[in-house]
Amino acid sequence: MEDNYIFSNIDGDITQPPLPLTNLKILVVDDDDDSRFYISTVLEADGASVTTVASAAKALEVIPHLQPDVLVCDIAMPIEDGYSLIRKVRALTPESGGDVPAIALTAYTDSEDRARALEAGFQRHVGKPVDPEVLVATVINVLGQRCKSLDS
């Protein structure tokens, strides 16, 4: 028998379970219009509120005001890359968004690239092209990791 994951409340109304990213604010930074659209569509489909920007400079303007729950950032961007951006984000105070969990998106997927991203300040490294299920699972994972560190 197939699980439909449909729930019924006391009044008999059928409701769907909440989407996994409901109530999350996510900032997506990518210089490519199509990539920003794709990533935001994937995240919004799972309930997130997504803000997109096309540059590291714009991200640094937005982060203190938006206070995103997660930052998803392309590495290879012109003028200022994702490595530079995450180092600047980590230099911010926690109240300004300096401790936001961050996911690096990149076509560079070997172990050296992964290590460089983590060393720069990202919590996770996801290869492009991005699988929607992997992206959503990674967002959930970095938030779970953050919750565990806050409980410690």
Alpha-carbon torsion, ordered 72, 98, 69, 55, to 10 deg: -30
Residue 15: inside a domain, yes or no? no
Residue 79: inside a domain, yes or no? yes
Name the pTM for this structure: 0.85
Backbone angles phi, psi at 15, to 5 degrees: -130, 155
Q: Percent of the chain scored above 90 by pLDDT? A: 74
Residue 118: inside a domain, yes or no? yes
Residue 98: inside a domain, yes or no? yes
User: Taking Cα atoms as reference points, which of 29, 37, 75, 17 lies closest to residue 53?
Assistant: 29
Residue 91: inside a domain, yes or no? yes
Residue 123: inside a domain, yes or no? yes
How confident is the model over 29-61, as pLDDT tens digits?
A: 999 999 999 999 999 999 999 999 999 999 999
Considering its fold, how many domains does the chain have in total? 1
Residue 49: inside a domain, yes or no? yes
Determine the structural domain holding residue 88 and report its residue range: 24-151
Tell me the CATH number at 82.
3.40.50.2300
Residue 105: inside a domain, yes or no? yes
Residue 12 pLDDT: 53
- Looking at residues 70-92, what average pLDDT do you find? 96
